[in-house]
Chain A
Amino acid sequence: GNSVTQMEGPVTLSEEAFLTINCTYTATGYPSLFWYVQYPGEGLQLLLKATKADDKGSNKGFEATYRKETTSFHLEKGSVQVSDSAVYFCALSGPGNTGKLIFGQGTTLQVKP
């Protein structure tokens, strides 16, 4: 079945460092791919999405490219801030495009000043 695998955390970086969080997926068909972020005490928020191969999603300095050949959707940011500290979830749309999302296990990012 469809599934998502993320790199294990926590990831600890200094402010202004480069961030990569790896995400790979297994899916039938052509799912849409998402990154969600969960700040402490808050609900999940959509960070960015890509709906087809080679699409690049971007928001707030984060970006990820839908790579069908490597079944990957890695999240990157050139210069992280303390305020980026959160849990990041990679997700894909379930079969049949009913609305179901299938999430990875989440990666905790801690950014130190």
Chain B
Amino acid sequence: EAGVAQSPRYKIIEKRQSVAFWCNPISGHATLYWYQQILGQGPKLLIQFQNNGVVDDSQLPKDRFSAERLKGVDSTLKIQPAKLEDSAVYLCASSLLQGPYGYTFGSGTRLTVV
């Protein structure tokens, strides 16, 4: 089966600019996650969707980050305006069922804010 697709692979922007990342999960996977992985740290969950509803967005900085999952399939994560500390790899993952098993991660988008 095809994996989790993410784009772009790399992005460099200046602070205060906006940026958007796209994720296409594995077909049929109802649960979709966005994680932020800062260099030297483990991934941290930003937001979790079940179909097109939000399950957990408690660690999403809502003043600058937003995310949506259209029709319960693709998802976009947006940052506006970006700060230097947003430099990280943004990982998308999906799973068939809600729960900690059966995750498939994408390769991530590496964001550099200068």
Residues of A within 8 A of B (CB): 4, 32, 34, 41-46, 49, 89, 91, 93-94, 97-106
CA distance A18 to B93 in the complex (A): 32
Residues of B within 8 A of A (CB): 3-4, 31, 33, 40-45, 48, 55-56, 91, 93, 95, 98-101, 103-108
Q: Which residues on the A side are within 8 Å of B93 (C-beta)?
A: 44
CA distance A106 to B55 in the complex (A): 26
Smallest Cβ distance from B101 to chain A, in angstroms? 7
- Are A98's CB and B48's CB within 8 A? yes
What 5 pairs between A and B have smallest CB-CB spacing? A103-B42, A93-B100, A43-B105, A44-B105, A43-B107
- Known A32-B100, A41-B107; judge A99-B95 contact (CB<8 A): yes
Name which residue of chain A comes closest to B102, CB basis: A46
CA distance A7 to B48 in the complex (A): 28
- Known A49-B101, A106-B41; judge A98-B55 contact (CB<8 A): yes
CA distance A54 to B93 in the complex (A): 28
CA distance A97 to B54 in the complex (A): 15
CA distance A42 to B48 in the complex (A): 22
Name which residue of chain B comes closest to A49, CB basis: B101
Give 16 A-B contacts (CB < 8 Å), ordered by A residue: A32-B101, A41-B107, A42-B107, A43-B104, A44-B43, A44-B93, A45-B105, A89-B43, A91-B42, A94-B45, A97-B100, A99-B99, A100-B100, A103-B42, A104-B42, A106-B42
